[in-house]
Amino acid sequence: MRFLQINLFRPPFQEGAFDVILCNGVLHHTSAPREGFMKLVPLLRPGGHIVIGLYNKYGRLATDFRRGLFRVARGSAKMVDPYLRSVKMSAEKERAWFADQYLHPHESKHTIGEVLEWFGQAGLQFVRGVPAVDRAANGNGNLFSPSRPGSAWDHFAVQAREIVTGSREGGFFIMIGRRPES
């Protein structure tokens, strides 16, 4: 296994070069998340998986509120961040968390339905979401065992829950897709 840092809009690899692509916490900090995603898809071999982690539109509402509060308070009042309050960490990690959550110059937010559309446009099969995008899913199985993509109502319910629970981890969600064999 090798980890590489590349310009995702100009990937230097041949089509079908990878079994798994992990793009975690990257796309939402680009100027064109969907286009960046579409540049990665051809790099998957048939049967390969792509794992993308993005900020959820609803899971980021509390973070957006705190971001406004920090601007008014000029960076003080860090105690309102539930992660900083609940996790013991070094001052360096605390600064990194705060910068990632509140000081990034650009971030976009996405919905389950939007990412499922990306998968469909790219010809990918949906495998799994974390948190589960289907309210009936029990969370069992490994990350690469297929689950149902859920309904629009499931997506609404899952994302509504993220308004409350998503702020603990910054409103982050993961979607996994698979390139069909043929």
- pLDDT band at residue 63 using 50, 70 and 90 as cut-offs: confident
Which residues share a beta bridge with 147? none
- pLDDT band at residue 116 using 50, 70 and 90 as cut-offs: very high
CB 38 within 8 A of CB 66: no
Please report where in the chains the tokens 């690899």 appear, as a residue.
13
Mean pLDDT of the chain: 87
- More reliable by pLDDT, 163 or 42: 42
Reduced to 3 states (helix: H, G, I; strand: E, B; else coil), residue 157 is helix
Q: What is the pLDDT of residue 102?
A: 80
CB 173 within 8 A of CB 59: yes
pLDDT at 96 over 90: no
- Encoded tokens for 158: 């899952």
- More reliable by pLDDT, 162 or 79: 162
- More reliable by pLDDT, 179 or 80: 179
- Domains of the chain: which residue ranges? 18-57+107-178, 61-103
Average pLDDT over residues 30-57: 96
pLDDT at 101 over 90: no
- More reliable by pLDDT, 14 or 1: 14
Kindly report the pTM of this predicted structure: 0.86
Q: What is the pLDDT of residue 167?
A: 55
pLDDT at 29 over 80: yes
Average pLDDT over residues 129-152: 83
Q: Looking at 54-68, 113-127, 161-175, which range is the least confident one? A: 161-175
Rounded to the nearest angstrom, the gap between the alpha carbon of residue 15 and the centroid of all alpha carbons in its chain is 24
- pLDDT band at residue 140 using 50, 70 and 90 as cut-offs: low
Residues 18-57+107-178: name the CATH superfamily: Vaccinia Virus protein VP39 (3.40.50.150)
* pLDDT digits 0-9 by tens, 3-18: 778 888 999 999 999 9
Instruction: List, in sequence order, every beta strand (DSSP E) within the chain.
Output: 18-24, 44-55, 125-130, 172-178
